[in-house]
Amino acid sequence: MEGRDLCLIDQRLLPHALKILRLSTYPEAIAAIREMAVRGAGTIGVTGGFAMAQAALAAPAGGGFWQEVERAAGAIAAARPTAKNLSYAVDRVRAAMKGAPGIEEARRRAVAEGQAVYDDDARMTEEIAKAGLSLFQGRRSVLTHCNAGWLAYPGWGSALAPIYLAHRQGQSVFVYATETRPRSQGAKLTSWELTQAGVPHALIADTAAGHLMAKGEVELAVVGADRIAANGDTANKIGTYTLAVLAREHRIPFYVAAPSPTFDAECPSGDLIPIEERDEKEVLEVSGLLATGEAATVRMANPGTCAKNPAFDVTPARLITGFITEQGIVEPNAQAIGRFLHSR
Amino acid sequence: MEGRDLCLIDQRLLPHALKILRLSTYPEAIAAIREMAVRGAGTIGVTGGFAMAQAALAAPAGGGFWQEVERAAGAIAAARPTAKNLSYAVDRVRAAMKGAPGIEEARRRAVAEGQAVYDDDARMTEEIAKAGLSLFQGRRSVLTHCNAGWLAYPGWGSALAPIYLAHRQGQSVFVYATETRPRSQGAKLTSWELTQAGVPHALIADTAAGHLMAKGEVELAVVGADRIAANGDTANKIGTYTLAVLAREHRIPFYVAAPSPTFDAECPSGDLIPIEERDEKEVLEVSGLLATGEAATVRMANPGTCAKNPAFDVTPARLITGFITEQGIVEPNAQAIGRFLHSR
């Protein structure tokens, strides 16, 4: 955050252009979340926290201040429904403001708490990196889905954090990145991150994951999460559930990397997690670069055809080997998750 | 076939343009198969059979005729490795030519047998349509992968044949077509075919199949095949295996529609089926129409990234509920397949 402005990478333009988006108001931040200029559970959360600070700075110091902050909190938390991190960050900033002696102090606390959410998230991903490191003992090839790197989460990212650390420590790591249609975050974001970091990897179509697992090419699967219910059921990018079923079929360990802000203690099970349905255009169209270097979107699908576009799915806890958290590996059951969340 | 010319729809241009490709020589036919201007097990086979006729018509009537025909047979059969129908058609035309009294008669037989392969294939798909009809009793929503319609197989197609018949007979059918990256045959070809035929359908990203099955939205899965081993293991478009694993997980019947030319009695099991690895550009790039209506290919993926692109996978017989063939439903085991192939 610079003054009242929030500066973020416009993830819609990657990997073809690296452009910083400057957001001056909280409605601009909401639009950036909705349109997925910023995406990834942690990044959405942190953007939401700073958007609360923007709302506090902009709200009139007169009688309407708290009403305006409450209105903003509702709108920010509703920008996207699935990731828990968004309401987590909004609630933290709101709670920090409450009881402040005067509006100026409330504003100061809002900015400080937005920054604290960011700093805490970043620190937790360092712990996740260390906690996941042992999974690479004797394993080289890891499959990941969507993007759960530093674009998606402050600091090191979630699923990619242990991969980055293992690579830095000189371990031989090879990543299979699934394309992750419809928005192709694997092809556009994860592949870009891994290239920047020099981590050996290959992109595969989402259809190829089963074949590679059957051929013994995948030794470990690690994904991120958008919301984890109290019983361990996990909402993550559409396609995660399919990969978890395949991993179980091939006895491949399937880990979900997520710090505590992604856990939702008040949601008892996965069937209660709201699943966002997004515009069918995401399925029907694809964007990229023309041979001329110009950015373009092409209509790929048949013109008369409609598409269904659920953006997330739920992986039941029974298919998850463990959660990689800031406090180590947590077993995928209500008791272990309860202890973990209680101790944070 | 018109004279020496083979006229086929250029499937690379669909759904955005319907253009007939005219192939005058067998090397042109080989190139069309390799570049997937023609694709689909049956269509590849029939093209190969007619390409043999082209080779016979063009081979010099002097002493080198039979050597030239043999050379062509080898080259045509090797155009793509996975679909059994290609070597089946080449072998049929070659066998029909053998023992002909003179070169002119050999040429006549080559053309006639090429046409006979086509006619037989088309007739078999009508039988497949009838054989699969009973699967729609009490079931409405069917998922299919890639394109196994009349573009892929002469006549009615394979997997889509029973769907077309059920729809024509007034049954309520709804098709989920998976996009089928990397070449998006579901989005481009199956969706186009279904739109032409007025069959209600929705396109989904490959990543969404598991979620829809978990939600109870899929009652039946039917796919085509490129080669079926003697034990029932089935090679088909990459992603088929994943769908079969998901169907089993959700107790959804999973059928493979294929006439006898797709069965390979000499291949004992799926691990011996050659799996084609295709150009990584198919994964890295996507083609479609710009808003201007102009056809274009965009580089979708990160520039520094390589891709792995297996074009097929093998679904073990244990995950297949049954084969829909020209002689009815055949159980997925060596005995039943042996009886079926023996009786043809």
Q: Do A208 and B313 touch (CB under 8 A)?
A: yes
The whole-angstrom separation of Cα A319 and Cα A91 is 31
How far are the Cα atoms of A65, A72, A81, B300 from residue A25, in angstroms, in the given order? 16, 11, 21, 32
Which token pair is B31? 């190139």
Q: Do A206 and B206 touch (CB under 8 A)?
A: yes
Average pLDDT, chain B: 97
What pLDDT shows up at residue B28? Answer: 98
Q: Do A206 and B181 touch (CB under 8 A)?
A: yes
pLDDT at position B62 over 90 = no
Class of the CATH-defined domain B129-342: alpha beta
DSSP A270: G
Express each pLDDT in A89-118 by its tens digit: 999 999 999 999 999 999 999 999 999 999
The whole-angstrom separation of Cα A267 and Cα A228 is 8
Contacts of A141 in chain B (CB under 8 A): none
Nearest to A303 among B15, B309, B314 (CB): B15
Residues B297, B301, B305, B306, CA torsion sign: negative
Contacts of B180 in chain A (CB under 8 A): 207
User: Long-range contacts made by residues A25-28, C-beta under 8 angstroms, separation at least 24?
Assistant: A25/A54, A25/A58, A26/A51, A26/A52, A26/A54, A26/A55, A26/A58, A26/A72, A26/A75, A26/A76, A27/A75
Neighbours of A283 (CB within 10 A): 26
Q: Do A246 and B242 touch (CB under 8 A)?
A: yes
How far are the Cα atoms of A206, A237, A272 from residue A185, in angstroms, in the given order? 11, 10, 26
What are the pLDDT tens digits along chain A (344 aa)?
888 999 999 999 999 999 999 999 999 999 999 999 999 999 999 999 999 999 999 999 988 999 999 999 999 999 999 999 999 999 999 999 999 999 999 999 999 999 999 999 999 999 999 999 999 999 999 999 999 999 999 999 999 999 999 999 999 999 999 999 999 999 999 999 999 999 999 999 999 999 999 999 999 999 999 999 999 999 999 999 999 999 999 999 999 999 999 999 999 999 999 999 999 999 999 999 999 999 999 999 999 999 999 999 999 999 999 999 999 999 999 999 999 999 87
Q: Do A202 and B309 touch (CB under 8 A)?
A: no
**Are residues A109 and A245 in contact, defined by beta-carbon separation less than 8 angstroms?**
no
The whole-angstrom separation of Cα B176 and Cα B186 is 9
Residue type, B229: A
Contacts of B308 in chain A (CB under 8 A): 176, 202-204, 208, 212
Q: Do B191 and A302 touch (CB under 8 A)?
A: yes
Express each pLDDT in A263-280 by its tens digit: 999 999 999 999 999 999
Residue tagged active-site, from A206, A226, A233, A264: A226
Judging by DSSP bridges, how do beta strands B6-9 and A285-289 pair with one another?
unpaired
Q: Do A191 and B302 touch (CB under 8 A)?
A: yes
The architecture CATH gives domain A6-126: Up-down Bundle (1.20)
pLDDT at position B246 over 90 = yes
User: Is the model's pTM score more than 0.90?
Assistant: yes
DSSP B330: E
Q: Which of the residues of B are catalytic?
A: 226
Nearest to B205 among A182, A195, A306 (CB): A182
Gap from A323 CA to chain B (nearest CA, Å):
21
Q: Helix axis angle, B240-249 relative to A240-249, nearest 10°?
A: 80
The whole-angstrom separation of Cα B97 and Cα A111 is 84
Nearest to B241 among A192, A214, A301 (CB): A214
**Are residues A213 and A252 in contact, defined by beta-carbon separation less than 8 angstroms?**
yes
Contacts of A298 in chain B (CB under 8 A): 286-290, 296-298
How many CB pairs below 8 A link A and B? 234
A46 CB-side CA count, 13 A: 25
In Å, how far from its chain's centre is CA B335? 25
Express each pLDDT in B170-220 by its tens digit: 999 999 999 999 999 999 999 999 999 999 999 999 999 999 999 999 999
What pLDDT shows up at residue B1? Answer: 81
3-state secondary structure of B143: strand
Q: Which of A233, A242, A319 to mutate to test the interface with B (most CBs of B within 10 A)?
A: A242
- Phi and psi angles of residue B72, each rounded to the nearest 5 degrees, phi first: -60, -45
Residue type, A317: A
Q: Do B308 and A238 touch (CB under 8 A)?
A: no
Q: Do A301 and B241 touch (CB under 8 A)?
A: no
Among A239, A186, A247, which residue's Cα sits nearest to residue A214?
Answer: A247
Nearest to B310 among A16, A184, A208 (CB): A208
Gap from A289 CA to chain B (nearest CA, Å):
5
Which token pair is A107? 């504003």
Tell the residue number behind the tokens 């699934």, with chain if given: A178
**Are residues B215 and B246 in contact, defined by beta-carbon separation less than 8 angstroms?**
no
The whole-angstrom separation of Cα A205 and Cα A242 is 13
Express each pLDDT in A230-255 by its tens digit: 999 999 999 999 999 999 999 999 99
What pLDDT shows up at residue B3? Answer: 85
The whole-angstrom separation of Cα B42 and Cα A219 is 37
Quick check: ipTM above 0.90?
Answer: yes
Among B51, B45, B70, B64, which residue's Cα sits nearest to residue B4?
Answer: B51
DSSP B277: B
Q: Do B15 and A195 touch (CB under 8 A)?
A: no
Per-domain boundaries in chain B: 6-126, 129-342
Among B287, B179, B84, B339, which residue's Cα sits nearest to residue A308?
Answer: B179
Radius of gyration of chain B (CA): 20
Which token pair is B169? 């007979």
Q: Which of B207, B236, B318 to mutate to test the interface with A (most CBs of A within 10 A)?
A: B207
Nearest CA in chain A to B236: A211
Among A76, A97, A98, which residue's Cα sits nearest to residue A87?
Answer: A76
DSSP-based helix, strand, coil % in chain A, nearest 5? 45, 20, 40
Which token pair is B239? 């992603």
Catalytic residue check, A313:
no
Gap from B3 CA to chain A (nearest CA, Å):
33
Gap from B305 CA to chain A (nearest CA, Å):
6
The whole-angstrom separation of Cα A129 and Cα A264 is 22
